[in-house]
């Protein structure tokens, strides 16, 4: 992809290393200090460090390779159905050779159905949903990430949908991709995302009477301190961290 | 409801009540009137004929399964959450324990994801990629051997189980020689490998290929044409292409429906495009077809292993970037532990900076630029994908594994309903789920 | 437990103890309690190369009611814990438990919300077997150690006495954190 117009989102050279991204991309949180010391006892010299954590932001055309083709086809197909592409697709991110469509949740099912059925797109296989929790990304804390694979064209894309913590609802894709049945149950179990329209949204991994959704960032790891001869090692989430 | 309470009857053990009246009479009457034999059977989560701690809930009418459901989560280990509290390199130690029969695939998928995030995919040395492929293909052999062995055992064929474990032992010996461990290796690391092949490894693998070529036909002789085996497996666990695509089934299940989809061909990684091998398929959509595919895949894996050995050239097994590669070549000290003596001499005696660098890299780890990546490999069970998210820190922000066992197990209901109870076991064995991967 | 528990203590009981221990140790029937990675090594131990049949133990019982040894092979999750206890309760006395692997023994590397930090929170454990997973040789060693234990186990009043002594010793034992000296 080096022969195309320079695109800062795709560039993997040294200027993309953390701290050197500048104001590019999308801020998800601000990191202060370095060693997790909050009480002012940090004498490392890193206590005053302020670093903003930025995920790759929206890309500009051309995306490069077959990405433009897929984006054009998807936008065209959505328009045919009378849906303005800009209202369904919040933004398109091209990063590390992968194409991501951030889709508005109310249009997720229609977008997925289009991606599956349109002859030029044909993303027949959904490899399930993965939840990600960004507690500091206000208004869009919970993300559901779908990877779609087209066996016909040999392509993989990613759909990302976000929902606020106060209203953790995302429409279910089970009607389009029945394989998402267990995957959505798992994401509900671990993140508390409610998939509207799922035939039986119950816990799948944890016991039915479990409290909370254990893989959210605000849920502790739940480890216990380990005793040794003359010493005690705190649980992994209680130790000093560098990030 | 007006019937009197049951009157007590005195016995030597105390009063005994015989319950009559109320709802119970209706239940008994209706049960007596109903001429079907519908019962709900719970199998597991601890049962000899299931792969690990799988729970099956079957509604059966006589011998026919009318409804089948899975209960999973009995081996949920929270590995994905644990990863978030360890460095990127330590992550391999956790992912290798997910699907413990396909350790090298878990490690490779995870490392490919991390390397994609780091942007060093092109810098992985050839030797590292070849050794990864070599180990993955050996792993395919050992995983399929366990599948065939335990699958046979569940049919009551103990001989094939002894055969399978006999051959698997030889592969475990190779693992032990190369990585130091029989299982759960953590040998493939972000950036390359933990260390190079030890002396004698290539010869040992060659010797193994020779033996295995002699042993593989024994499975054919024992099972392929065996009438009992065929009677139990043919047309059992039927799932056609439509069903596979809808349920997201991949691996031997998808290929038994006739679609030659294999990520090694369609979306190559680790240089698979340069190897010469075939993707076997069947058109029977049943357990027997899957068994034949597994046998053929083992032969193809042996072919790839041989090509790997020819392709091995001396060189580095870790990226050149000193900010990612651990500085030392691990070597066994006299105490049975430890690091290369030359390296220790250098960092302790001559270079303070090297010592600091080593310490920082091992305890703190390297930083990975923010973003997300998805890397998928073709594991023996299907598409194994790793969704890796970084927030720029020294630890993963979120790692999610799309495990093929988890997805394929959803097909259990479609394969079993309408069949016989005994066929449920065959169908589940042909899915080859490993609960460590399903529950993670 | 049967008649042997009712014998008066003394010479007769010790002789019966020896005989019973000898008979019991030679016919241990393990229940299949494979959970994770360790279960594969447990199966390997039963297969050709390591051949548990040499110790009269190759027949793994599917039903806990026919078994007297439970090899807890692998990590025990919070969801599995009640099942494990139920299987244990269904086993007839006398019964023994081997906790195979670090996950079963102490939670191991999975110090988190999902895993029970040591199966001894749920069932009494006779032999702790470290390793991740332990090699088949280690499992065989653990089984031989268990055989020794079975051989020397007491009956009737002697058993009660032994249990009382063990409890007293355990009450007097120092907590790990207060132990001094070298690690061993």
Interface test with A, best of B53, B73, B91, B265 (most A CBs within 10 A): B73
Burial B140-149 (b: 16+ CB within 10 A, else e): bbbbbbbbbb
* CA–CA distance, C153 with C17 (Å, rounded to integer): 7
| Minimum CA–CA partner of C174 in chain A | A229
Nearest CB among C117, C179, C180 relative to A224 is that of C117
Which pLDDT score, from 0 to 100, does residue A41 have?
Answer: 65
pLDDT exceeds cutoff 80 at A135? yes
**Which H helix or E strand runs over A94?**
strand A89-95
Q: How confident is the model at residue C9 (pLDDT cuts 50, 70, 90)?
A: low
A71 alpha-carbon distance from chain centroid: 19
Task: Determine if the peptide bond prior to B280 is cis (ω within 30°).
Answer: no
Interchain proximity A236–B82, CB inside 8 Å = yes
Cβ-Cβ contacts under 8 Å for B351 (sequence gap 6 or more): none
Interchain proximity B165–C44, CB inside 8 Å = yes
Which pLDDT score, from 0 to 100, does residue B338 have?
Answer: 64
The rounded percent of chain B whose pLDDT value lies above 90 is 42
Measured between beta carbons, the chain C residues lying within 8 angstroms of A231 are 177
| Min Cα separation A222/chain C (Å) | 4
The rounded percent of chain A whose pLDDT value lies above 70 is 86
Of the candidates B409, B400, B402, the one whose C-alpha atom is nearest the C-alpha of residue B434 is B409
| Minimum CA–CA partner of A221 in chain C | C112
B194 alpha-carbon distance from chain centroid: 21
Task: Count CA atoms within 13 Å of residue B231 on its CB side.
Answer: 3
Q: Is the distance from CB of C124 to CB of C93 less than 8 angstroms?
A: no
DSSP string, B270-290: TTGGGS-------SS-SHHHH
Interface test with A, best of B69, B79, B85, B396 (most A CBs within 10 A): B85
pLDDT digits (tens, 9 = 90+) for A20-52: 445 567 777 887 777 666 666 667 777 777 778
Q: State mean pLDDT over B200-209.
A: 93
Neighbouring chains of C at 3+ CB pairs within 8 Å? A, B
Interface test with A, best of C79, C112, C174 (most A CBs within 10 A): C112
Which pLDDT score, from 0 to 100, does residue B142 have?
Answer: 93
Q: State mean pLDDT over B95-104.
A: 91
Of the candidates A113, A159, A141, A154, the one whose C-alpha atom is nearest the C-alpha of residue A29 is A141
Interface test with C, best of B42, B54, B75, B179 (most C CBs within 10 A): B75
Q: How confident is the model at residue C20 (pLDDT cuts 50, 70, 90)?
A: confident
Which pLDDT score, from 0 to 100, does residue A6 have?
Answer: 47
Taking all residues of chain B, what is their mean pLDDT, rounded to a whole number? 86
Nearest CB among B81, B371, B400 relative to A95 is that of B371
At residue B400, the 3 state secondary structure works out as strand
DSSP state of C61: B
* CA–CA distance, C95 with B143 (Å, rounded to integer): 34
Interface test with C, best of A203, A207, A217, A218 (most C CBs within 10 A): A207
- DSSP strand E in B156-206: where? 188-189, 192-193
Q: How confident is the model at residue B7 (pLDDT cuts 50, 70, 90)?
A: low
Interchain proximity A127–B119, CB inside 8 Å = no
Of the candidates C118, C139, C76, the one whose C-alpha atom is nearest the C-alpha of residue B182 is C139
Interchain proximity B370–A25, CB inside 8 Å = yes
Q: What is the distance between the terminal CA atoms of chain B, rounded to a whole angstrom?
A: 51
Tokens describing residue A156: 């993989």
Q: Checking DSSP bridges between strand A98-103 and strand A155-163, what pairing results, if any?
A: parallel
Q: What is the distance between the terminal CA atoms of chain C, rounded to a whole angstrom?
A: 37
Which pLDDT score, from 0 to 100, does residue A5 have?
Answer: 46
What's the pTM value of the predicted model, to 2 decimals?
Answer: 0.88
pLDDT exceeds cutoff 60 at A14? no
Torsion sign over Cα A229, A235, A238, A239: positive
Nearest CB among C78, C113, C179 relative to A230 is that of C179
Nearest CB among A207, A229, A236 relative to C78 is that of A207
Binding residues of C for [4Fe-4S] cluster, as ranges, are 37-38, 103, 132
Q: How confident is the model at residue B350 (pLDDT cuts 50, 70, 90)?
A: confident
Interchain proximity B394–A242, CB inside 8 Å = yes
Binding residues of C, as ranges, are 37-38, 103, 132
Tokens describing residue B389: 């998210």
pLDDT exceeds cutoff 50 at A8? no
Cβ–Cβ contact C33 with B under 8 A: yes
| Min Cα separation C117/chain B (Å) | 12
* CA–CA distance, B131 with B195 (Å, rounded to integer): 11
Nearest CB among A221, A229, A236 relative to C176 is that of A229
Cβ-Cβ contacts under 8 Å for A192 (sequence gap 6 or more): A142, A168, A213, A216
pLDDT exceeds cutoff 80 at B237? yes
At residue B253, the 3 state secondary structure works out as helix
Cβ–Cβ contact C176 with B under 8 A: no
Q: Is the distance from CB of A45 to CB of A36 less than 8 angstroms?
A: no
Cβ–Cβ contact B71 with C under 8 A: no
Question: At CB < 8 Å, which residues of chain A contact C?
Answer: 205-207, 210, 214, 219-224, 226-232, 235-236
Cβ–Cβ contact B81 with A under 8 A: yes
List helix spans (H) across A66-175: 67-80, 85-88, 108-117
| Min Cα separation A226/chain B (Å) | 16
| Minimum CA–CA partner of B77 in chain C | C114
Measured between beta carbons, the chain A residues lying within 8 angstroms of C114 are 206, 214, 222
Measured between beta carbons, the chain C residues lying within 8 angstroms of B182 are 41, 133, 135
Q: State mean pLDDT over B213-223.
A: 89
Interchain proximity C47–B161, CB inside 8 Å = yes
| Min Cα separation C119/chain A (Å) | 15
Which pLDDT score, from 0 to 100, does residue B25 have?
Answer: 61
Nearest CB among C80, C112, C133 relative to B183 is that of C133
* CA–CA distance, B402 with B100 (Å, rounded to integer): 15
* CA–CA distance, A102 with B81 (Å, rounded to integer): 25
Cβ–Cβ contact B42 with C under 8 A: no
pLDDT digits (tens, 9 = 90+) for B351-388: 888 888 888 888 888 889 889 999 999 999 999 999 99
Nearest CB among A210, A223, A230 relative to C111 is that of A223
Nearest CB among B53, B94, B183 relative to C37 is that of B183
Which pLDDT score, from 0 to 100, does residue C8 have?
Answer: 66
| Min Cα separation B245/chain A (Å) | 6
Task: Determine if the peptide bond prior to B45 is cis (ω within 30°).
Answer: yes
Interchain proximity B246–A130, CB inside 8 Å = no
* CA–CA distance, B153 with B436 (Å, rounded to integer): 20
Neighbouring chains of A at 3+ CB pairs within 8 Å? B, C
């Amino acid at each position: 992809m080096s022969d195309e117009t320079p695109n800062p989102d795709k560039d993997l050279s040294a200027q993309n290393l953390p701290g050197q991204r500048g104001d590019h991309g999308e801020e998800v949180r601000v990191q202060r200090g370095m060693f997790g010391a909050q009480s002012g006892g940090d004498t490392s010299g890193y206590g005053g460090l302020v670093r903003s954590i930025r995920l790759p932001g929206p890309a500009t055309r051309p995306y490069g390779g077959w990405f433009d083709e897929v984006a054009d086809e998807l936008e065209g197909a959505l328009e045919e159905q009378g849906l303005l592409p800009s209202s369904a697709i919040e933004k398109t991110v091209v990063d590390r050779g992968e194409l991501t469509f951030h889709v508005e949740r109310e249009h997720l099912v229609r977008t997925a159905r289009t991606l599956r059925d349109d002859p030029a797109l044909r993303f027949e296989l959904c490899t399930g949903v993965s939840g990600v929790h960004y507690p500091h990304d206000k208004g869009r804390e919970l993300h559901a990430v779908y990877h779609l694979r087209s066996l016909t064209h040999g392509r993989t894309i990613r759909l990302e949908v976000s929902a606020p913590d106060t209203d953790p609802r995302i429409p279910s894709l089970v009607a389009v991709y029945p394989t998402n049945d267990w995957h959505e149950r798992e994401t509900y179990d671990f993140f508390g995302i409610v998939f509207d329209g799922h035939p039986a949204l119950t816990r799948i991994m944890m016991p039915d009477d479990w409290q909370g959704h254990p893989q959210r960032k605000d849920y502790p790891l739940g480890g216990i301190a380990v005793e040794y001869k003359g010493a005690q090692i705190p649980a992994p989430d209680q130790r000093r961290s560098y990030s | 409801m007006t019937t009197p309470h049951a009157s007590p009857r005195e016995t030597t053990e105390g009063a005994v009540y015989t319950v009559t009246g109320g709802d119970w009479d209706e239940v008994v009457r209706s049960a007596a009137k109903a001429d079907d034999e519908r019962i709900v059977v719970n199998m597991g989560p601890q049962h000899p004929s299931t792969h690990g701690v799988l729970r099956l809930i079957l509604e059966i009418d006589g011998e026919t399964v009318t409804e089948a459901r899975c209960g999973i989560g009995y081996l949920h280990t929270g590995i994905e959450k644990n990863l978030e509290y360890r460095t990127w390199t330590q992550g391999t130690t956790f992912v290798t324990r997910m699907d413990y029969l396909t350790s090298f695939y878990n490690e490779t998928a995870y490392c490919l994801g991390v390397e994609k995030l780091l942007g060093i995919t092109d810098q992985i040395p050839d030797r590292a990629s070849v050794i990864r492929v070599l180990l993955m293909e050996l792993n395919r052999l050992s995983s399929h051997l366990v599948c065939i062995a335990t699958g046979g055992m569940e049919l009551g064929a103990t001989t094939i189980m002894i055969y399978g474990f006999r051959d698997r032992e030889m592969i475990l010996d190779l693992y032990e020689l190369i990585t130091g461990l029989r299982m759960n290796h953590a040998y493939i690391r972000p950036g390359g490998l933990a260390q190079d092949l030890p002396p004698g490894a290539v010869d040992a693998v060659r010797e193994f290929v020779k033996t295995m070529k002699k042993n593989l036909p024994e499975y054919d002789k024992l099972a392929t044409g065996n009438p009992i085996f065929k009677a139990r497996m043919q047309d059992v666990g039927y799932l056609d292409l439509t069903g596979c695509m809808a349920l997201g089934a991949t691996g031997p299940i998808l290929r038994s429906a006739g679609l030659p989809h294999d990520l090694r061909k369609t979306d190559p990684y680790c240089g698979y495009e340069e190897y010469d091998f075939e993707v076997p398929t069947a058109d029977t959509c049943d357990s027997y077809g899957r068994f034949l595919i597994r046998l053929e895949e083992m032969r193809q894996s042996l072919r790839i292993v041989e090509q790997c050995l020819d392709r091995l050239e001396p060189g580095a097994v870790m990226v050149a970037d000193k900010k990612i590669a651990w500085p030392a070549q691990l070597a066994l000290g006299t105490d049975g532990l430890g690091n290369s003596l030359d390296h220790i001499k250098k960092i302790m005696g001559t270079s303070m900076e090297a010592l600091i660098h080593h310490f920082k890299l091992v305890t703190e780890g390297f930083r990975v630029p923010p973003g997300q990546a998805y890397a998928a490999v073709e594991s023996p069970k299907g598409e194994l994908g790793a969704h890796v998210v970084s927030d720029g820190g020294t630890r993963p922000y979120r790692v999610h594994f799309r495990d093929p066992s988890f997805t394929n197990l959803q097909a259990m209901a479609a394969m079993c309903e309408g069949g016989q109870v005994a066929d449920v076991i065959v169908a589940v064995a042909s899915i080859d789920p490993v609960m460590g991967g399903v529950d993670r | 437990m049967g008649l042997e528990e009712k014998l008066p203590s003394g010479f007769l009981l010790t002789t019966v103890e020896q005989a019973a221990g000898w008979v019991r140790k030679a016919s241990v029937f393990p229940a299949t309690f494979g959970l994770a990675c360790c279960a594969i090594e447990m199966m390997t131990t039963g297969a050709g190369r390591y051949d548990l049949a040499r110790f009269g133990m190759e027949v793994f019982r599917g039903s806990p009611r026919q078994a007297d040894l439970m090899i807890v092979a692998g990590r025990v999750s919070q969801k599995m814990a009640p099942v494990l206890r139920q299987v244990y309760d269904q086993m007839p006395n006398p019964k023994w438990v081997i906790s195979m692997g670090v996950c079963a023994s102490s939670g191991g590397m999975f110090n988190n919300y999902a895993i029970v930090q040591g199966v001894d929170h749920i069932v009494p454990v006779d032999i702790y077997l470290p390793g991740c997973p332990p090699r088949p040789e280690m499992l065989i060693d653990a089984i031989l150690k268990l055989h020794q234990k079975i051989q020397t186990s007491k009956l009737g009043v002697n058993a009660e006495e032994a249990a009382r002594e063990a409890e007293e010793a355990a009450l007097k034992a120092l907590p790990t954190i207060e132990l001094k000296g070298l690690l061993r």
